[in-house]
Amino acid sequence: MKFNPAKAIHDLRQFGEFGDVNPSITDSSTYTFLQGNTMEETFLGHMEGCFLYSRHWNPSNKYLAEAMAAMENTESAWITASGMAAITCALLQLCNSGDHIITSVTTYGGTYAFMKNWLPKYNIEVTFVNITNLDEVKNAIRPNTKVIYTESVTNPLLQVSNIPELAKIAHEAGAKLMVDNTFTPMIFSPAILGADLVVYSMTKFINGKNDCVAGAICGSHEFINQLSNVNNGTAMLLGPVLDPLRSSSILKNLNTLHIRMTQHSRNALFLAENFEKWD
């Protein structure tokens, strides 16, 4: 997958319905239909450009989803009310009872608890490995492995995942590689490196203001459509929808993400260089 800067810039330029510099906020849970058959076609997923119910899609969340997809160079994205909602919905959409997941033993605590304590209730097995040891990852592969899950930089031990090699291992086994890129937006581009799905807690660097909890799932059109399907989509049925007012706020904060990540990187370099001097 190649990054197309022109497409990304085009996709990130979202305007309101009246030419607003910032997209209009759609503060509505339901939407009107002038014809009954339009509502039916929308419910069945056959109608483009119409909104059914805000738990399914709303314009404000769609603006933010399109911006996240453009940033991550994926076809589509879905916005959730927390990072854990993004992680759990994506995994539950990918896995069924009897399936197997491989992940890092140093993964984020909430993710670890979900995989260790919650998934076994539904007969989904998880093997925890040193994600930086590729042989250990390969040896953990089973015929029923559906997902290799990692973080670009693990939280909190900061182990760096070899995303291209993990993608090769996953794809050779017929599995998906899912990467949490929360710590490294605009530093790592997991989809370009071979990841099938990229998830975020937008609570951290994406929003950057410590005033909200939110998440995102970035992937193919096919996967996002499955995830949001009104009849069997995990995100649609579990309902972790983000409020449109908060979506609008996060979208505006994305405008400064590149500046903030540059300064975060400078700060990290300064600390690393000085820690070496003090050692």
- pLDDT, tens digit, 9 for 90 and up, residues 204-224: 999 999 999 999 999 999 999
CB 146 within 8 A of CB 165: no
Specify the pLDDT at position 46: 61
CB 82 within 8 A of CB 241: no
Give 3-state DSSP helix, strand, coil % of the chain, rounded to 5. Answer: 45, 15, 40
In the chain, the domains with their CATH numbers are 5-278 (3.40.640.10)
Low-confidence ranges of the chain (pLDDT < 70): 1-18, 40-49, 279
d(CA 60, CA 216): 14
Specify the pLDDT at position 36: 72
Specify the pLDDT at position 278: 83
d(CA 140, CA 154): 19
Specify the pLDDT at position 33: 72
Specify the pLDDT at position 221: 96
Q: Is the pTM of this model over 0.85?
A: yes
Measured CA angle at 220 (ends 55, 203), to 5 deg: 55
Specify the pLDDT at position 28: 84
Specify the pLDDT at position 6: 47
What element of type H or E holds 180? Answer: strand 176-180
Specify the pLDDT at position 209: 92
